[in-house]
Chain A
Amino acid sequence: MVARRAARAILRDDDEADDAVQEGMLAAWRAIARYDPERPFRPWLMRIVVNAALDARRRSRVRQAEPIAETLESGGLGPDRMAEAALLRVRLDEGLASLPERQRIALVLFDAEGWGHADIAAALGVPEGTVRSYVFHARRAMRKVLGVLAEGMK
């Protein structure tokens, strides 16, 4: 679920992310009469969810975010590969944590969800060029953090 992954990328806490998605979906539902059918629905909805997640992030900034639960599959791997996978998870978390929120969202929507620059720009309320810059910087940072590890996972 795209909205849930985007919220998790922002909040890095399962429960908070789920609450934010729920809050965003309800806000969208209540505001559905204000939706302009001439414009694409997906970025409109994502914008509301992202804003809900950013609000939740601001509210919880004083609290220490708990790490994301272990969801990266390691089934069928030997001890060495499992250790490598665990290290990859840590690096992935570090990489995501090092990115500014909007870069993180742009990266997730572009690389993980396959959204186009235009849709991401509409969802974030920024020009397309800014989205390209976000993705560029986010990828560069992630490559630096993941480097050889990501190659090893192939």
Chain B
Amino acid sequence: MTESPFDAEPDAELGRLLRERLTGAEPEAFLRRLRRVVAATPAGDQWDVLAGWARPRVMAMAVAAGFILWLGVWFASDRMSGDAEPAVQVASLPAHTVVMPQVARQPEFVTAVMEGQ
């Protein structure tokens, strides 16, 4: 064994002892077993990755849509209490405000609502 444990190089003698002690029996048979098992298992595909990635986006879109709907209803009810103009404000929003893939930016959303007014 190497005299100093500080050595930055692998200790050849200790390494040999460890390899001899830890190498399992019949490595080829084990490799065959591994290959068989892996071959019978479908690999994780891109859909797993996309699903993991899309979940937060879908949640954000749902929150944004809910928020827009709530604001639309709120504005509409406000209008109903004042004069008798058409109530469904949401319908006048530009389409991109509703289908944006992330949470709507507030100034853009407010502008759209104001234009609707």
Contacts of A88 in B (CB 8 A): 17
Query: A112 — nearest CB in chain B belongs to which residue?
Result: B18
Query: B38 — nearest CB in chain A belongs to which residue?
Result: A29
A142 at the interface (CB under 8 A from B): yes
Contact residue range for chain B? 20 to 34
> Chain B's interface: helix, strand, loop or mixed, by majority?
helix
Interface size (A, Cβ < 8 Å)?
A: 47
Contacts of A62 in B (CB 8 A): none
* Pairwise interchain contact A21-B14, C-beta atoms closer than 8 A: no
Q: How far is the CA of A93 from the CA of B44 in the complex (A)?
A: 38
* B binding-site residues for A, Cβ under 8 Å: 1-2, 5-6, 10-11, 13-25, 27, 30-31, 33-34, 37-38, 41, 43-46, 48-49
Q: Chain B's nearest CB lies how many Å from the CB of A153? A: 7
* A binding-site residues for B, Cβ under 8 Å: 1, 4-5, 8-9, 14, 17-18, 21-22, 25-26, 29-34, 68-69, 71-73, 88-89, 92-93, 96, 107-108, 110-114, 135-137, 139-140, 142-143, 146, 150-151, 153-154
Q: Chain B's nearest CB lies how many Å from the CB of A9? A: 6
* Pairwise interchain contact B31-A139, C-beta atoms closer than 8 A: no
Q: Chain B's nearest CB lies how many Å from the CB of A37? A: 13
Q: How far is the CA of A110 from the CA of B19 in the complex (A)?
A: 11
Contacts of B5 in A (CB 8 A): 135-137, 139-140, 143
* Pairwise interchain contact B43-A33, C-beta atoms closer than 8 A: yes
Query: B49 — nearest CB in chain A belongs to which residue?
Result: A33
Contacts of A73 in B (CB 8 A): 20
Contacts of B23 in A (CB 8 A): 1, 4-5, 71
* Pairwise interchain contact B14-A26, C-beta atoms closer than 8 A: no
Contacts of B1 in A (CB 8 A): 139, 142-143, 146, 150-151
7 contacts between A and B (CB under 8 A): A25-B37, A30-B41, A31-B44, A33-B46, A111-B18, A142-B1, A153-B13
Contacts of B20 in A (CB 8 A): 71-73
Neighbour of A107 across the interface among B13, B16, B18, B46, CB < 8 A: B18
Contacts of B19 in A (CB 8 A): 5, 112
* Pairwise interchain contact B17-A18, C-beta atoms closer than 8 A: no
